[in-house]
Amino acid sequence: MKLLPHRFRYRLELWSLRRRVYPRRRRGGLLRRVSLLLLLAVFGTMAASVGLTLALRWVNPPVTAWMVWKARAMDRPVVYRWVDAENISPEVAIAVVAAEDQKFPAHSGFDVESILEAVREHVQGTRSRGASTISQQVAKNLFLWPERSLVRKGLEAWFTVWIELLWPKERILEVYLNVAEFGPGVFGVGAASDLYFDGPARAIDRRHAALLAAVLPNPVRLHVDRPSPYVLSRRDWIQSQVRMLGGPAYLRP
């Protein structure tokens, strides 16, 4: 009989101890599970983005994020037609490189000198010029939205790194020529050639190629079919840059 109180006290103390310890363990276990799920979600999203980027090395995008946003903004469908690189005039390729990113064959996705110059102009309060490379513009057009923010720029850098790692330069330029906007809701050199020149993209000559490249900074305000004096002067400047670079041979491996 004397052992019963002792056993009772022992069980009571054990029960009390469990009540104090296990809730903490359950709370700690829940926190670990939530953290693990968040970590898996982050890594899963990163892996999916890399997988999608790799797939687009061979799969031609039927639509891009920029096209979806543009269609919603205009409340009408965009005009888009894919054209393979071999059916695009080499004059168009060298024109857009001369206009937008002359270091394209050599850089790894980012033009550091242009970025530093843009930052310096911003600090000085002068008008900042664009510093995005063709690779960055492909990343933005394929996956992102037009809002300027640190988050979007960070994602743009992430996709740019993988595009440069997983795609050859020829594929980057081919995709750019097909997803760039050449007029309000007019995407790709195929659609632009049909609309503005009434002919195939492979027949675009040097002058028309430079005209297409001239409107790329702002295809809503700058027009291929109604070129302003600024667009015409920019077209002439692009043609001079193409000659300086040596023409289409500049892009040959």
Query: Do both 141 and 218 map to the same domain?
Result: yes
Query: Do both 139 and 162 map to the same domain?
Result: yes
Residue with tokens 């069980």: 11
Compute the residue count for the chain. Answer: 253
Query: Do both 43 and 67 map to the same domain?
Result: no
Q: Which residues does 14 contact at the CB level (< 8 Å), separation at least 6? A: none
Query: Do both 157 and 34 map to the same domain?
Result: no
Distance from C-alpha of 252 to C-alpha of 189, rounded to nearest angstrom: 20
Give whole-number Cα distances, 169 to 102, 135, 154, in Å.
13, 9, 22
Helix (H) or strand (E) holding 80: strand 79-80
Query: Do both 72 and 43 map to the same domain?
Result: no
Query: Do both 149 and 34 map to the same domain?
Result: no
Query: Do both 162 and 103 map to the same domain?
Result: yes
Query: Do both 85 and 159 map to the same domain?
Result: yes
Distance from C-alpha of 111 to C-alpha of 189, rounded to nearest angstrom: 25
Tokens representing residue 145 in the block: 């939205």
Q: Which of 56, 99, 79 is nearest to 189 (CA)?
A: 79
Examine the fold and report which residue of 18, 38, 55 is the final residue of a domain before the chain moves on. 55
The stretches of the chain forming alpha helices (DSSP H) are 3-55, 65-74, 90-100, 112-124, 134-143, 150-166, 169-179, 189-192, 206-214, 229-245
In terms of residue numbers, what domain contains 179? 62-251
Q: What is the pTM of this model?
A: 0.84
Give whole-number Cα distances, 122 to 16, 67, 113, 128, 133, in Å.
65, 29, 14, 5, 18
CB neighbour class for 200 (10 Å; exposed up to 12, middle 13-18, buried from 19):
middle
The secondary structure of 208-230 as a DSSP string is HHHHHHHTTT-TTTS-SSS--HH
- The arrangement of strands across the sheet holding 79-80 comes to 79-80, 186-187, 181-183
Examine the fold and report which residue of 55, 73, 98 is the final residue of a domain before the chain moves on. 55
Examine the fold and report which residue of 11, 35, 55 is the final residue of a domain before the chain moves on. 55
Phi, psi torsion values for 80, nearest 5 degrees: -150, 130
Is residue 180 helix, strand or coil? coil
| pLDDT tens for the 253 residues of the chain, in order | 444 455 555 565 655 656 555 555 555 677 888 878 888 888 888 899 999 999 999 999 999 999 999 999 999 999 999 999 999 999 999 999 999 999 999 999 888 877 777 677 667 666 555 678 999 999 999 999 887 888 899 999 999 999 999 999 999 999 999 999 999 999 999 999 999 999 999 999 999 999 999 999 999 999 999 999 999 999 999 999 999 999 999 998 7
Look up the CATH number of the domain holding residue 177.
1.10.3810.10
Number of domains, the chain: 2
Query: Do both 142 and 204 map to the same domain?
Result: yes
Distance from C-alpha of 171 to C-alpha of 174, rounded to nearest angstrom: 5
The pLDDT of residue 8 is 55
Query: Do both 73 and 195 map to the same domain?
Result: yes
Q: Is the separation of the CB atoms in 160 and 135 below 8 Å?
A: yes
Query: Do both 3 and 87 map to the same domain?
Result: no
Query: Do both 19 and 124 map to the same domain?
Result: no
